[in-house]
Amino acid sequence: MNTPASQFNADARRVSADLRHRGIIRTAMNNYEVVRDRRKAGFQDWQGARDLAARTKCETISHLDTHLEQFARLLEARGTVVHWAANAQHARDIILGIVRGKNARVIVKSKTMTSEEIHLNEALENAGCEVVESDLGEFIVQLREEPPYHLVFPAMHLTRAEIQQTFQRKSHDAPSDNPEDLTMVARRVLREKYLQADVGITGANFAIAETGMISITENEGNARLTAALPQTMITLIGIEKVLPRLEDLALFLPMLAVMGTGQPLACYNTLYGGPRQPGEADGPEEFHVVMLDNRRTTLLADAEQRDALGCIRCGACLNVCPIFCNVGGHTYGTVYGGPIGSVITPHLRGLHEWKHLGYASSLCGACSETCPVRIDLHHHLLQNRRNASYAKPIRWQKLAFQLFALVANRPRLWSLTTRLARLGQKFHGLIKGRALDPAQAWTRTREIQPIARQSFHEWWKERGK
Amino acid sequence: MNEREHLFTRIREALTVKTPAHHGDSLPTSAEHRCVLPTVGTTMDEQLALFAQNAADLKATFILVNHEDDLARALQVLADKEQWQRVATHQGGLANKLAGLLGLPLLMVDGGYDKSALALCDAGISECDALVAQTGSVVVTSMTAGGRALSCLPPHHVVITRRSQLVPDLTSAFSLIREKHAAHYPSMISFITGPSRTGDIERILVLGAHGPKQLTIFCIQD
C-alpha cells in the first residue's frame, strides 16, 4: 500500500543516490550560506535579534484572539471584506464564491504557500478559470505541473536547460538557456496576463494588527502588480501570521530577507490596508481577506509546540538541514517541507499518517540553531515521535523494549547476552545489510560498532585478582 | 454561531493552557530593536553616504543634485540617453513639473488611467515619502506616489526626492508613516529596495523580473 511513509522512504532512497540532484542543491546552498552569513554579520547582535523576534512572536501567539480581532476590525473599517475559513474546503468555497460572483476568467496569483495547502489552483481550474502563477519559480513549476520544491525557491532543483525545455514544450519562445533571457520570456508572457486578469490572489507574510494591513515580501514585483491591476484582490492568510505593531516589521522584514535569501531587505515589502481609497489613482475596487485555520488551532492547543506557529516561512531550516539537502523537497510529500514541515504537518494533517516525518532528522539541531524566531524544531520532532508512540504504540517496538528492560535489569543475563553478541558479531559480516540480516534496515547504510572485547564489569573483576 | 465565532472560541480554548515564555513575552521597544539591527551612523552626512552605498549595492542609480534646475537637466540627459518616447507621472507638485519639462507625451495617472497605456510608458516618474539609509529603500504610498502601478509597471522607475526626506532606519520610517498618515492610511505602502530582481533560475541574479529593470533616485540637496 502506498502510504505517505512508504512514499517518503522510496523517494528518499532514490533521490539521495542521485548525484546530479545533490550537486545542484549543494551549489545553491553553498552560495546561500556565504551571503547569509555576511548579512548576519551586518547586525549589531544577531542572537539578540533572534531573542527579540521570539519574544514578539510569543506575545503575539499568546494573545492571538485579541490581535486577530483588532486586525479584522480595522481592515473591515476601510472597506475590506474579511472571511473566516475553518478548513481547506471552506476556504476554497469562499474564494470560488468571490471568483464566480465576478465572472472571472483569468486569475493571476502571486506566490502563496497557503494556497498550495488548500489546493486552490486545482479548484479554480475545475471551475473553468485560467490560473497563472506570476512568481518566476512558481510559474516554472506550474508549467511542469509540479509542486514547489522549496518554501522560498520553488524551482531550485531545475537547471537552466530544463527550464528552457519546459518553456519550449509549453510553446513559449525560448531561444537560449541564459537565465536573463528565460526571465524575460516569463516577463513578456505574464505582462499580458496582468492586463487581462479579473482577479488577483496573493498570500501574505505578516498581518499588522495595529493598522489592519497585510504585508507582502517579494523580489520580483509580481505581487505588486497582482495587487495593482486586477479589479478584485483576494488575500489568503493563515491566522498565525499576525504581528501586533507596524514597527515590529523593522525587525522582521530584515530578518526574513537575511534568512530567506541572504539579502539585507527584499526588493518589495508592501503593506495593503484596503481596496482603492478615495483620491487614489488605481487599485482593486474590492479587497477580500480570507483567514484560514485549517487545524492551526490544533497546533495552538499544543502548548509544548505552540511556538511553531511563529514560523515566518523563511526556509532557513530547510537550507541547513542535512536531510532536506539529501532527500530533496519533493520527497516530503507535503506542502511545507524540511524541519518546519516535519514539525507542523503531523498537526495539520494527522499525527498517525505523518509521524514518519519525526524521523526525517538526524537531530543535529542545525534547524533550531538557525531559526530566526527560535522555534525549538528538533525537540519538536522528538516530541512528535513520543506523541505518536503514546497515541498508538507499535507492538513489536514495545515488545523489543520490554525484552531489553528484562535483560538489562539482570546482570547475569546481560553479561551472557553480550558474550553471545560478541560471538554473533563475528558472523554478522557474512550477512550484513543483506536480506537475511534481521537488522537490515539499519545495517544497509550504517556500521554497528563492535562490542568491546571486555566489559567494564569483566575488567574490574580481573583487576581485583 | 458563525464561523468567525467558532474560530475565536477554538483559539480561546487552545490558549487556556499557558506556555512558558523562554525568551520573554513582552513586546520589545524600538530602542531594543535599534540595539540589534545594523548600525546607521549618527550624522546626516554618514546616513546619506550609507544610502548611496546601499543603492549602489542594490544596482540602483542614486544621483545627488544641488537644485531643481540641475535635476531637470539631469532628467533630460537620462531621457535622451534612453530615448524615452512617453512617460507617466502624477500630480505631486515636483514630479509632474519636472516630467512636464521633458516635452514628451505625458500620462497622468491621477483619477484613473488606461493600464495598457501605462505599460507602454518608458518611465514612471514619482515622488516618495522617505528614503531609508539603513536599507537603501524608497518608501512610496498609493496616495503620495501616484497609486500602486506607477512605480512598478513601467520598465524604469524614477524617484524625485529631497535630502530632507532621508530617515536613518526602518524604525524611523514606520514612525514617520504613522505621524503622516495615521488619520487615513493609504491603501498601499511599499518599501522599494532596488530594481525588481529574481534568482529563481539557478539562483543567478537577473534584474527586472516583473517590476522595473531600472531604479533611478534623484535627490535634491536642499
> What are the pLDDT digits (tens) for B111-145?
899 999 999 999 999 999 999 999 999 999 999 99
pLDDT of residue B154: 97
What is the model's pLDDT at position B126? 98
Question: Measured between alpha carbons, how far is A251 from A237 in angstroms, rounded to an integer?
Answer: 21
Paired strand residues for B215: B157
Rounded Cα distance, A412 and A402, in Å: 17
Q: In this structure, is the dihedral angle defined by the CA atoms of residues B205, B210, B216 and B222, taken in order, positive or negative?
A: negative
Query: Which amino acid is it at B55?
Result: A
Domain boundaries, chain A: 43-294, 314-391, 405-464
pLDDT at B152 over 90: yes
- Are A251 and B28 a contacting pair at CB < 8 A? yes
pLDDT at A435: 82
Q: With contact defined as beta carbons under 8 Å apart, do B22 and A373 qualify? A: no
- pLDDT top residue among B197 and B22: B197
Asked if B116 and A195 touch (Cβ cutoff 8 Å), the reply is yes
Handedness of CA A190, A335, A164, A33 (dihedral sign): positive
Q: What is the enclosing helix (H) or strand (E) of B89?
A: strand B87-89
Class of domain B40-220: alpha beta
Q: A251 in contact with B at a CB cutoff of 8 Å?
A: yes
Q: What is the CATH number of domain A43-294?
A: 3.40.50.10420
Nearest residue to A221 (alpha-carbon basis) of B207, B64, B67? B207
Determine contact, residues A300/A68, Cβ cutoff 8 Å. Answer: no
Place of cell 497622468: B108
Residue B200 contacts A, CB cutoff 8 Å: yes
Alpha-carbon distance of A180 to B207, in angstroms, equals 8
Q: What is the pLDDT of residue A443?
A: 85
Q: Could you tell me if A224 and B211 are in contact, meaning their C-beta atoms sit under 8 angstroms apart?
A: yes
Q: What is the pLDDT of residues B79-97, one digit of tens each?
A: 999 999 999 999 999 999 9
Chain A (183-212) residues lying within 8 Å, Cβ to Cβ, of chain B:
183-184, 186-187, 190-191, 195, 211
Which stretches does DSSP call E strand in B133-201? 137-141, 156-162, 166-167, 188-192, 197-198
Residue found by looking up cell 516535519 in the block: A342
Sheet of B61-65, strands arranged across: B61-65, B214-220, B156-162, B123-127, B87-89, B106-108
Exposed/middle/buried for residue B68 (C-beta within 10 Å: 0-12, 13-18, 19+): middle
Q: In this complex, is the C-beta atom of B114 within 8 Å of any C-beta atom belonging to chain A?
A: no
- Cα separation, B154 vs A25, in Å, equals 35
Helix (H) / strand (E) containing B14: helix B3-14
The rounded Cα A409 to chain-centroid distance in angstroms is: 43
User: What's the grid cell of residue A270?
Assistant: 508592501
Q: In the prediction, which pLDDT does A16 show?
A: 93
What is the b/e burial string over A386-411, where b = at least 16 CB atoms within 10 angstroms of the residue's CB?
ebbeeeeeeeeeeeeeeeeeeeeeee
Partner A, chain B 28-67, Cβ-Cβ below 8 Å? 28, 30, 32-33, 35-39, 54
Q: For residue A247, list chain B residues with Cβ-Cβ distance below 8 A.
A: 30, 33, 171, 174-175
**Residues of chain A neighbouring B38 (CB-CB closer than 8 A):** 42-44, 254, 264
B147, B90 Cβ separation under 8 angstroms: yes
Counting as low any pLDDT under 70, the low residues of chain A are 1
A273 at interface of B, judged by CB pairs closer than 8 A:
yes
Report the alpha-carbon distance of residue A298 to residue B74 in Å, rounded.
Answer: 59
Q: Which residue of A has its CA nearest to B33?
A: A251
Give the separation between CA A226 and CA A231, rounded to whole angstroms.
10
Q: CB-based contacts of A116: which residues, under 8 Å, 6+ apart?
A: A147, A148, A335
Q: pLDDT-based confidence at B53, cuts 50/70/90?
A: very high
Distance CA A209, CA A67 (A): 5
Reported as type and span, the H/E element at residue B61 is strand B61-65
Query: Please, which residues have CB within 8 angstroms of residue B214's CB and are 6 or more apart in sequence?
Result: B61, B155, B156, B157, B195, B207, B208
For an interface test with B, which of A52, A152, A292 has the most B Cβ atoms less than 10 Å from its Cβ? A52
The residue count of chain A comes to 465
Residue type, A264: P
Mutation target for A interface from B131, B210, B213, B214: give the one with most A CBs within 10 A.
Answer: B210
Q: Cell triple for residue A26?
A: 549543494
User: What residue type is A193 in one-letter code?
Assistant: K
Cell numbers for A434:
543483506
Whether residue B213 contacts residue B155, with contact meaning beta carbons closer than 8 Å, is answered with yes
Taking only residues 304 to 363 of chain A, the set having a beta carbon closer than 8 angstroms to any beta carbon of chain B reads: 304, 306-307
DSSP 8-state assignment for residue B59: T
- For residue B43, give the C-alpha cell: 550624522
Question: Which of B91, B202, B204 is most worth mutating to test chain A (most A CB atoms within 10 A of its CB)?
Answer: B202
The interface residues of chain B toward chain A in range 154-193, judged by CB-CB distance below 8 A, are 169-171, 173-175, 177-178, 184-193
- pLDDT at residue number A45: 98
User: Are the beta carbons of B8 and A65 separated by less than 8 Å?
Assistant: yes
Q: Is B140 helix (H, G, I), strand (E, B) or coil?
A: strand
The CA R_g of chain A, rounded to the nearest whole Å, is 26
